[in-house]
Structure 1
Amino acid sequence: MLRIRTLSLGAALLGLGALPAAAADYSYDSPAATAFAAPVGFTWTGPYLGAIVGYTWSTFQASSGLLGGRSIDAEGGKVGGYAGYNYELGNNVVLGGEMDLNWDDVKGNTRSFGSVDQTWDSTIRARAGYSFGRVMAYGTGGAAVSGARIDSGDFSSSATHIGWTLGAGAEAAVTDHVTARVEYQYADYGSQLYRTGVGTASDVGFTTGSIRAGLGYKF
């Protein structure tokens, strides 16, 4: 009888010893444990698109013809949209590409020059940034194209300018998908030939400085 009791007690102790291991196995495979796993951190990697509002200051300069040596300043607002892709390399470095298209209302006029009007612009640029988590500082640069019109009295002439742009800005992730940004861009659009009178024309180029704010959605 004593031997039977001893064997029963030993079996009970072995069973109790197995409970923690069984509990550990159960918790490891438990869906509840998976549900409470740490969330994945935010990343800038992915495509995005957004809307732009901004303000531009322009300087038009004539280098030849009847208007040679004359200049005129212009300013006004802009609205547009942008789209691009970011890739987070690691070590807080973010690289990407972006393009935008904007409708401009940038105007200026003088008696001697006439009136000028920058009507639209578009850029395609590379971006390089440094991430501080949900905030990123970046530089950007690439090709720029813009449409302009000059009215020199009895003659009105339009042209498309091709040039380059450089800028810098900061962008913040408001949520995992919504971002907000502010940036400055300088652009040099080079010269194009504008008709200014009967049998006369002038080479006119212009540069711009723009402050732009954007609200985007990251997919």
Structure 2
Amino acid sequence: MKRLAAAGLAAAAAFAASAPAFAADLPQPEQPYTYTDPVPAERFDWSGFYFGGHLGWNWSDYRVTNAVTGRFNNNDSGVTGGVHAGYNYMVTPNFLLGAEADFSMSDIEKSRTVAGVNYKTSSSWNSTVRARAGWAFDRFLVYGTGGLAIADVDASANGASDSVARIGWTAGAGVEGAVTQNVTARLEYQYQDYGNTNFGLGGQTYKNKLDSNQVRFGLSYKF
């Protein structure tokens, strides 16, 4: 009897030891699939203040009218560069409104002799205060801009010279991209119109109309 009980206990122990291995060999029920939404990538935030610098090329067109010389053009082009600062506000996740001001130095100076009169025009600086509106594609922005412009307008003839700060208007467009979370790069075009300015030089009146076209590359730091 004791031998029978011992044999039974040994058989039970052997079965218990082999049960996990046996269970592992059996088909396992399929685990239910749990769907997890992917974590969306964080969008670039264009909002906030920024400050930067720009460098480009300026084409200026002086159209001069005088009783002696008649009408002639005194056009010139040169390097322009300066600083800009502004603020952006995201009205929607894609639509941006902002304001920007800039100041630029220009290398514009041209002399021309017409009907025996040596006439020189120049402009050494210009500045704008503009609104901006754009559409953001995450880290890429397309925008339009427009507002007030001011520049110095200089002229000399017949041994006399004069200079005024002339107010006009500007309009343009550009593209801008985020290089890092704080640094952006832009390529921008602006047209600036300063209207007519009359200079009395050496007893003669010279009517000047100045407009310019600027293409500028800039870098900005966003705070």
Equivalence for 1:81 = 83
Q: What amino acid sits opposite 1:210 in the alignment?
A: Q
Equivalence for 1:123 = 128
Cα-to-partner distance string for 1:10-63 (whole Å, 9 max, x where unaligned): xxxxxxxxxxxxxxxxxxxxxxxxxxx987532100000100111100110124
* 1:67 CA drift (Å): 4.7
Equivalence for 1:98 = 100
On the 8 A contact 1:57/1:208 being kept in 2, the answer is yes
* 1:154 CA drift (Å): 1.4
Rg (Cα) greater in structure: 2
On the 8 A contact 2:66/2:204 being kept in 1, the answer is no
From 173, 193, 198, the equivalent of 1:193 is 198
Which secondary structure state, in structure 2, belongs to the residue aligned with residue 90 of structure 1?
coil
With normalisation by structure 2, the TM-score equals: 0.76
The number of residue pairs the alignment matches comes to 182
Percent pairwise identity: 38
* 1:84 CA drift (Å): 0.4
Instruction: After the TM superposition, list the runs of 4 or more consecutive aligned residues in structure 1 that deviate by more than 6 angstroms.
Output: none
Higher-helix-fraction structure: 1
From 206, 213, 219, the equivalent of 2:217 is 213
Residue 154 (structure 2) pairs with residue 149 (structure 1)? yes
With normalisation by structure 1, the TM-score equals: 0.78
Residue 172 (structure 2) pairs with residue 170 (structure 1)? no
Residue 75 (structure 2) pairs with residue 53 (structure 1)? no
More off after superposition, 82-91 vs 108-117: 108-117
From 114, 120, 134, the equivalent of 2:119 is 114
| Distance verdict in 2 for CA 1:110–1:63, change over 3 Å | closer
Cα-to-partner distance string for 1:170-194 (whole Å, 9 max, x where unaligned): 0011001001101110111011222
Q: What amino acid sits opposite 1:44 in the alignment?
A: W
Structure 1: 5+ residue stretches without partners: 1-36
* 1:88 CA drift (Å): 0.9
